[in-house]
């Protein structure tokens, strides 16, 4: 907890003002910011002291119960083109698009680029999240306070499960728990990965928990807090926040989080700073910053683990970052503009799929040339779309983080 509430309030106010400018066309973003502001005063009085980072661990073994790491030099080794798990190999290939303002999920056939179905779901669906065991897609109905299960084998939706404020959803690497990013509740809620029964609630003193990724060994994960410009480090087994740091830029609004293939660095997109932060997750030290483009938002790793695609929502571009060269090598611009947001890479690695948050559309982009292959109309406010199935042994959540 910062010792001066006034400074914290000013920083938070600046972050919210920036959100209003960037999200003028997205009613759900504005609503989340307004609700966060309304709850700020009451929440401040209950804040706990800011946790100090724990000493760097020399533990090399993975989280107990986690599947063995295939390659200690590449956390994405299981994600090679077409390397589908036996669980999903017979699932039809689809793109599932949650339309936040329409309260629906649009289903697209990626072979024809055609919409084949529209599924009604709860209020403000934010992300479509593959379960740890790969058998279910969970639609995060944030303001509907529920998760709608979709069977990816049949494409049919099941009975919603009551879960409060599920803005985003992750799974611990051992498959035991779902971790709900309860953004406005200001909580990380650990639930049974199958029944979604609440196991432990972890209150946080930052604002707007939203995205995360896990370390190579699965023993901790880094969480972004978009409304207060902070990062959390969470011990997976202890289910405890062990570190909290404010990003060194006024009005920072961190979004998507990805770990590097070798597990040594974490990348955090920042849509207000228009780039991404790069930090050592073990040390949880001060990050460096790399500009990418206006409204940097989503981060997606290529099937060969060599590159990462950065969606720049505010300028209609995708930046390509080379892990080995540690720099940007290309920038692709969508013809006729757009608002590329969240998505995923096709099973064969040839197509990057992204939602057009403010344009009621979805983009299919050739990962070899950056050429737009299709622009498909969907519902209003498309957000965290899932390309499914994808390669990998298990899912860590979000729109598809596979290991």
Pairing state of beta strands 296-301 and 307-312?
A: antiparallel
What is the distance between the terminal CA atoms of the chain, rounded to a whole angstrom? 34
Instruction: Confirm whether 120 is domain-assigned.
Output: yes
Q: Is residue 347 pLDDT above 60, yes or no? A: yes
| Bridging pattern class, strands 198-203 and 209-214 | unpaired
List the CATH number of the domain containing 170.
2.130.10.10
Place of tokens 């309260």: 103
The per-residue pLDDT of the chain, averaged, comes to 90
Of 239, 369, 245, 263, the C-alpha closest to 323 is: 263
Lowest mean pLDDT among 17-21, 85-89, 141-145, 236-240: 17-21
Q: Is the model's pLDDT at 28 over the cut of 70?
A: no
In angstroms, the Cα distances linking 65 to 173, 177, 196 are 8, 12, 19
Answer whether residue 107 is part of any domain: yes
> Does residue 137 belong to any structural domain of this protein?
yes
Predicted confidence band of residue 94 (pLDDT cuts 50, 70, 90): very high
Whether the predicted pLDDT of 164 surpasses 90: yes
Q: Strands 156-157 and 161-162: what pairing? A: unpaired
Query: What is the per-residue pLDDT for 1?
Result: 44
The 10s digit of each residue's pLDDT in 107-117 is 999 999 999 99
pTM here?
Answer: 0.88
> Does 269 fall in a domain?
yes
350 falls within a domain: yes
- Position 46 confidence tier, pLDDT thresholds 50, 70, 90: very low
Nearest partner of 338 among 112, 20, 25, judged by Cα: 25
Token representation of residue 221: 């994960």
Q: Count of domains in the chain?
A: 1
In a domain, 395, yes or no: no
Domain range enclosing 144: 5-51+76-388
Contact 154, 388 (CB under 8 A): no
- The predicted pLDDT at position 61 comes to 78
Nearest by Cα to 389 from 169, 175, 155:
155
- Is the pLDDT at 105 greater than 50? The verdict is yes
Could you report the per-residue pLDDT of 166-216, keeping only the tens digit for each? 999 999 999 999 999 999 999 999 999 999 999 999 999 999 999 999 999
Q: Give the pLDDT band of residue 29 (cuts 50, 70, 90).
A: low
In a domain, 67, yes or no: no
399 belongs to a structural domain: no
Residue-wise pLDDT for 362-379, tens only, equals: 999 999 999 999 999 999
pLDDT number for residue 33: 58
Alpha-carbon gap, residue 119 to 103, rounded angstroms: 9
CA–CA separation, 244 and 205 (whole Å): 9
Q: Both tokens of residue 191?
A: 């639930």
Predicted confidence (pLDDT) at residue 54 exceeds the cutoff of 70: no
CA–CA distance, 393 with 285 (Å, rounded to integer): 31
């Amino acid at each position: 907890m910062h010792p001066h509430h006034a400074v914290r309030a000013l920083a938070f106010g600046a972050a919210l003002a920036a959100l209003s400018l960037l999200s003028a066309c997205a009613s759900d973003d504005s609503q989340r910011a307004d609700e966060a502001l309304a709850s700020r005063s009451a929440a401040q009085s209950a804040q706990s002291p800011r946790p100090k980072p724990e000493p760097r661990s020399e533990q090399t073994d993975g989280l107990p119960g986690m599947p063995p790491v295939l390659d200690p030099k590449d956390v994405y080794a299981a994600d090679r083109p077409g390397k589908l798990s036996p669980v999903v190999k017979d699932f039809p290939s689809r793109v599932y698009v949650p339309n936040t303002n329409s309260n629906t999920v649009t289903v697209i056939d990626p072979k024809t680029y055609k919409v084949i179905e529209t599924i009604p779901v709860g209020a403000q669906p934010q992300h479509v999240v593959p379960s740890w065991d790969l058998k279910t897609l969970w639609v995060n109905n944030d303001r509907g306070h529920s998760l709608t299960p979709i069977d990816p084998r049949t494409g049919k939706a099941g009975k919603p499960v009551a879960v409060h404020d599920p803005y985003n959803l992750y799974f611990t690497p051992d498959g035991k728990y779902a971790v709900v990013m309860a953004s406005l509740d200001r909580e990380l809620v650990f639930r049974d990965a199958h029944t979604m029964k609440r196991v432990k609630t972890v209150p946080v003193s930052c604002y707007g928990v939203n995205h995360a990724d896990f370390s190579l060994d699965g023993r901790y994960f880094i969480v972004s807090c978009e409304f207060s410009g902070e990062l959390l480090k969470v011990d997976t087994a202890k289910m405890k926040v062990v570190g909290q740091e404010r990003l060194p830029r006024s009005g920072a609004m961190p979004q998507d989080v990805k770990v590097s293939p070798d597990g040594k660095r974490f990348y955090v997109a920042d849509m207000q700073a228009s780039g991404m932060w790069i930090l050592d997750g073990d040390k949880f030290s001060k990050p460096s910053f790399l500009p990418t483009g206006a409204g940097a938002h989503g981060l997606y790793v290529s099937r060969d683990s060599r590159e990462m695609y950065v969606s720049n929502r505010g300028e209609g571009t995708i930046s390509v970052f080379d892990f080995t060269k540690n720099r940007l090598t290309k920038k692709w611009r969508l013809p006729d503009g757009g608002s590329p947001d969240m998505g995923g890479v096709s099973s064969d690695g040839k197509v990057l799929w992204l939602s057009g948050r403010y344009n009621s559309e979805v983009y299919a982009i050739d990962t070899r040339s950056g050429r737009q292959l299709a622009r498909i109309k969907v519902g209003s406010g498309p957000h965290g779309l899932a390309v499914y199935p994808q390669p990998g042994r298990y899912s860590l959540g979000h729109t598809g983080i596979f290991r």
